[in-house]
Amino acid sequence: MSTQRPPLPPFTVETAVEKVRLAEDGWNSRDPEKVALAYTVDSYWRNRAEFVQGREAIIDFLKRKWQRELDYRLIKELWGFRENRIAVRFAYEWHDDSGNWFRSYGNENWEFDENGLMRRRFASINDVPIQESDRRYHWSLGRRPDDHPGLSELGF
């Protein structure tokens, strides 16, 4: 039996916004094992051109991601929802091991099971090189502070 991850579908505006923020918080933890618990055991992903299936593969993927994308900070925003599906847009900032900074923009489509676990995730992402002085995400690593502007407020 799967563990429930509220809020559960069908989503309302309020519960969809909450689900998006919980996902953002999880990813900002940069803890692959913790993040993977939000997905079904057999969850299926398309992330850019990579296809990933299952929690163990998700954990491996996230470990590789956060070894390459250093000082990762993410903001997600609800784009739309229906029943057990949510669409989000996001942007995150990170740098590589040579100190080159990037802002990555993207969209995700999510589908949840009845327990609120994500069973499908499709992500399209584009990376834009930025100067360190162009960074907009300056909070301490971890959860974005509640008073930090979101994507719309930042003009993204």
Residue 25 lies in a domain: yes
Check pLDDT > 70 for residue 18.
yes
Instruction: Say if residue 1's pLDDT is above 60.
Output: no
Q: What is the pLDDT of residues 53-111, one digit of tens each?
A: 999 999 999 999 999 999 999 999 999 999 999 999 999 999 999 999 999 999 999 99
Within a domain: 2: no
> pTM higher than 0.85, yes or no?
yes
Comparing CA positions, the residue from 77, 70, 76 lying closest to residue 102 is 70
- Check residue 2 and give its pLDDT: 59
Task: Tell me what the pLDDT averaged over the chain comes to.
Answer: 97
Dig out the tokens for 117 from the structure: 């676990």
Residue 34 has pLDDT above 60, yes or no: yes
- What CATH number did the domain enclosing 59 receive? 3.10.450.50
Contact between residue 118 and residue 111 where contact means Cβ atoms under 8 Å apart: yes
pLDDT-based confidence at 48, cuts 50/70/90?
Answer: very high
| Total structural domains within the chain | 1
Any domain includes 5: no
Amino acid, res. 37: L
Residue 6 lies in a domain: no
What percent of the chain shows pLDDT beyond 70? 99
Give the domain extent around 27.
Answer: 13-136+147-154
H/E stretch holding 58:
helix 55-68
Q: Is the pLDDT of residue 10 over 80?
A: yes
Which residue's structure tokens are 């993207």? 106
Residue 100 lies in a domain: yes
Following DSSP, what letter does each residue of 66-111 receive, concatenated?
A: HHHSEEEEEEEEEEEEETTEEEEEEEEEEE-TT--EEEEEEEEEEE
